[in-house]
A and B are shown apart, each in its own frame.
Chain A
Amino acid sequence: MYKFIRNIYIVMKVESIRLDKLRWYLGSKDIYRVIFEKLVELGYDVVAPSKAGNSYIFKKVSSFSEVCINYIRTSNTLRTFLEPEEVLYRWYLRDSELVIKEELPRGKLALYAVHPCDANSLVVLDALLGSEPRDMYYGIRRANSFVVIDDCLGGDEYCSCSDVGARIPWGGSGDLWLVRNNGNVYVTAISNKGTEFLTRYLSSYLNIVPGAPKIINYGTSKAELVSRLYMLNYAVNNPLWAQKARECVFCGSCLAVCPTCVCFDIIDVPNDDLRSGTRIRRWNACLFRSFTAVAGGRVFRESSEDRFKIKYYHKFLFIPRRFGIVGCVGCGRCTYFCPVGIDPVKVVKEVIGIAH
């Protein structure tokens, strides 16, 4: 039977973790070093926030001295490590027979001291790339990853995690969650992998404590904006879109720094001998004309308003409809890096008429 695609309703499937359902432990600040060194010892490539000039970036580090946990946001995202620009496979001719050689990722990746927003972006990536048919390159890296969430110290004026319900880690976002509190650190495990790590390697450094830490700026997956995203179904022709699209300079910064933007091209890179080469994944984004341009000159999404709008609709309507999660985690990078000061969450609120 033909299954008619009726694509209107949003049913939220992902929820914030309930703090009172978790078992909390208390330890000293030294626990950061203990966890880091254990991950290195276990053979993980550890990706951690690190200072770079006046800003911070996530990068692979080998020593704890390179790590800087007192940061608001990094310039790059975890997507850079889980879905990098990469070789998908190599090809060559051997005795006039074509050989295709798969290049799957190897090794284990630890994502260390990431904020709840970035951890939640992994849940969005899991939905986009991990759903069937699975992107194996992402899937293998993600299956071999270990995520240590360091709770946010409060953010800044660019942050909007509370609006999209991403202030608290969602189910499936990470393995350990650390919350700093008056010089001490609350630690809890939020996955089986995390529980195993905690009981095996951290129990001698921690004491079990009753209750849960107080989380500042509390916002859950039941946020007002989230419950009204369906209104975007009826806002396609809102004149605000055209107005905002005129402000946009289509530089693509917002998408380059977005933790949930996954769109890519697959292109060929032949070697000099022309008898071998690689096929690689390279990022592309919906703001650019090239993204929908086909041979012969046709550009399917030609109008700048449509190219401006599709990002919003994808993150705030299509992903919620298809996967039951918001496609934006409110990390604020897009707003921070926008040269003309466009704040996407604010735009969505304006379009559907919620006061900012």
Chain B
Amino acid sequence: MPDWNKVVHDHLGGLDLQADERAEIVEELAGHLEEIFDDLRRQGFSEEDATRGCLLEVEDWRGLGLRIEAARRKESPMNNRVRQFWLPGLLTFTLSMGLLAVAEIYGPKPWILRSGNPPIMVVHIPWLLGLPVVGAIGAFLSRRAGGSRRAIFSSIVFPVVPYLAAILFISPVVLGFDHFIAHSPMPAAIPMAVLGLVLTPGVALLAGGLPAQLFFSRRLDSRRIASR
């Protein structure tokens, strides 16, 4: 008979829990596998087949470990929303801003797109090229914290949300006062701002974030309900 304690320990020995709690979980799960093994042997299965049958109980040990950690972990001061959305979101925002500052200071001259006079769009190519990595980091952190698809998506695009909010806030004011300002360029600048500050960086963030989400979803499988 396989040493089930060793089998479980090999897979779950690194659980992020207290040592005694971890040892109890390993013992309990090993006992469960031992019972299945004995049951299969009593039904006439060979030792090899019974072992195989036991191992089918867990398709994804890593996912099981994550779900056990989530279930057993003491409540931390950070709730799920903080871990799954706010923390990854603020980190992607900080990284995005830092990257933009670095691109502005040390990067090559930005690409300037003119559309009318004077609405322009300033594009920092190194910043855009770095954003997919930022999006991927946001997706990874949110996914690792067990975030839903919506939380992951929000974490990825979080850096453009303040821009979008600012534009949405400013636009009605600009449009409202436009009649009183002669030759105001602002209404024409709004679409340029949306394009340059929201859509383009948003697409760049998603270009890295969405593939990362798919990749990590496969690795960090989190089946939450019982198989039927």
Query: Do A and B come together as binding partners?
Result: no
B residues whose Cβ falls under 8 Å from a Cβ of A:
none
Binding site for B on A (CB under 8 A): none
